[in-house]
Amino acid sequence: MGGDARFRGNCAPQVYEWLIRQSGARSLIDPCFGSGTSLDVALRLGLDAQGSDLSVGAYHQGVASRLRARGAQVRLGLDASAPGWPGHFRAADLVVAHPAYGTQLAYHARPRQVTRGFVLNSMDLRK
């Protein structure tokens, strides 16, 4: 299982599986989980999985519900570019984010939209 192939911008589960295995991580955070691919893979591999998504729409409500039922900590409506974002999660070994889409795909009209390539400020995720 790995997200939803019908979701625009979905990433192959094998990418996250490779990253997790290479890093030896035991916990993962995805600040823009989209269809949940990274969290699905993390849960399947037995990791502590956490994530957020800016969207609070029906699609993401369903994804969040599915992920929570499997043990992930997920938050909707969180802006991953906001300074306080890391404070919503426990420390993690691995933080992953899908590569930016640039002008190919826009989910929000917000100027700081992470999917367009906004660079996150350095954040200390080690509480």
The series of mean pLDDT values per 10 residues for the chain, 127 residues long, is 64 89 96 92 97 92 97 94 89 83 51 48 41
pLDDT of residue 81: 82
CATH number of 13-116: 3.40.50.150
For helices 58-69 and 37-44, the axis angle rounded to 10 degrees is 10
Query: Which distant-in-sequence residues (6+ apart) come within 8 Å of 25 by Cβ?
Result: 47, 92, 93, 94
95 Cβ contact partners less than 8 Å away, ≥ 6 residues apart: 28, 29, 30, 31, 125
Structural tokens at position 60:
């993401």
- Supply the pTM of this predicted model: 0.77
Question: Could you tell me the residue ranges of all domains in the chain?
Answer: 13-116
